Amino acid sequence: MKASIEHKLVDVRDRHEELAALMADPDIAADAGRFSHLSREYAELEPVVRAFDRWNAAGERIADAESLLDDADAEMRAMAEDERTAARSERALLEDELETLLMPRDPGDDAAAFLEIRAGTGGDEAALFAGALLRMYERYAELRGWRLELLSERPAELGGFREVITRIDGRGAYGRLKFESGAHRVQRIPATESSGRIHTSACTVAVLPEPDAAEAASVVREDLRIDTYRASGAGGQHVNKTDSAIRITHLPSGIVVECQEERSQHKNRARALALLQARLDDRARTASEDARAATRRDLVGSGDRSERIRTYNFPQGRLTDHRIDLTLYSLDATMEGDLDPVIDPLIREHQADLLATVTD
């Protein structure tokens, strides 16, 4: 284990002991708010301290075993060698566990996600590709047992979408999908192309964590203009008979969000407010990341929607993720929702980057 990580673990154990002493103080125990805050921090550190104690215990077992390797009794030496091997194996596993536990965690990873797809360069072909991407994410959500809701859509004349916005609810949805943000480029032969020429078009994908209800409700209402209208998209005859669709304009930023898929105006308003807060949070987060970009490079890309992150080459059946130089020849399976072979390497690369921040 690197000395920098071990030093950090010692600090964590010291803080854990300090918290235990603070929580035993009668004055702090009488302050419900402070006691609750300290209890949460104590509980968060508990698994780290337990794993660190086991790691130290394994080190003591290794030292004890090594002290017996020169014993005159051959059977004793063999037992000591077996013990040292077992303790070393356990210690290596605990090192991996501790590194994972120490990694900074995105508090939004367990949240539901807003996933937005917009057709970019390429006209009708880009819109058709936006529809294919939506289907890919729908299949992926099904495979993981998540629920996908369509919030708003702008269908294209020849099929697909100019823009489509969804909400994906399920454990770890944002944590797994957040690396999908960016420009997705497609290379394929359109059905209308008689000469067999490959066309290149693109869509942009944005993935935002859904804020909790309290955060979404904190938007200053005086900054909002809220309009109701009759939905024109899918949803049956009901949406065309009532003004249930909601459009919210955030006046200071100019951000506009819409939600038209629920029959209830109240539900559409709640979804639209949550989406607005997510976009405001994303704008603030992007500004913060831009400020850090000059001094630190993110190994899996910035997530900027203008950054080309992936190419889908249909004639060759090839998918390439440019952030980590990943190339797979299983494009058909990917488009059917088999995204884990793409997402898992991105998560591992991101975790390696986070670990580097810990050791720094």
Domains present along the chain, CATH in parentheses: 3-102 (1.20.58), 113-291+302-353 (3.30.70.1660)
Q: How many C-beta neighbours within 10 Å does residue 275 have?
A: 25
> Would you state the structure tokens that stand for residue 86, as one six-digit string?
């077992």
201: confidence class by pLDDT, cuts 50, 70, 90: very high
Selected residue with higher pLDDT from 233 and 122: 122
The type of residue at 350 is H
Q: Which pLDDT band holds residue 296 (cuts at 50, 70, 90)?
A: very low
Q: What pLDDT score was predicted for residue 302?
A: 44
Q: If pLDDT is split at 50, 70 and 90, which confidence band does 229 have?
A: confident
Q: Are 153 and 161 in contact (CB under 8 A)?
A: yes
Q: What is the DSSP string of 26-60?
A: HHHHT-HHHHHHHHHHHHHHHHHHHHHHHHHHHHH
pLDDT of residue 306 exceeding 60: no
Q: If pLDDT is split at 50, 70 and 90, which confidence band does 80 have?
A: very high
Mean pLDDT of the chain: 85
Of 179, 156, 152, whose CA–CA distance to 165 is shortest?
152
Q: What is the pLDDT of residue 241?
A: 46
Residue with the bigger pLDDT between 69 and 260: it is: 69
| Helix 340-359 with 74-102: angle, nearest 10 deg | 100
Residue 260 has pLDDT above 70, yes or no: yes
How does pLDDT run across 6-43, given as a tens digit for each residue?
Answer: 888 999 999 999 999 999 999 999 998 899 989 989 99
* CA 331 – CA 336 distance, rounded (Å): 9
Cα distance from N-terminal residue to C-terminal residue, the chain: 14
Mean of pLDDT values over 126-148: 96
Average pLDDT on 58-86 reads 93
Structure confidence at residue 360 as a pLDDT band (50, 70, 90): low
Q: What is the distance between the alpha carbons of residues 121 and 15, in angstroms, rounded to a whole number?
A: 53
Backbone φ/ψ region at 181: left (φ over 0), alpha (ψ -120 to 50), beta: beta
Is pTM, for the whole model, over 0.85? no
Lowest mean pLDDT of 27-41, 78-92, 162-176, 262-276, name the range.
Answer: 262-276
Helix (H, G, I), strand (E, B) or coil at 228: strand
% of the chain beyond a pLDDT of 70: 86
- Name the token pair of 220: 């200053």
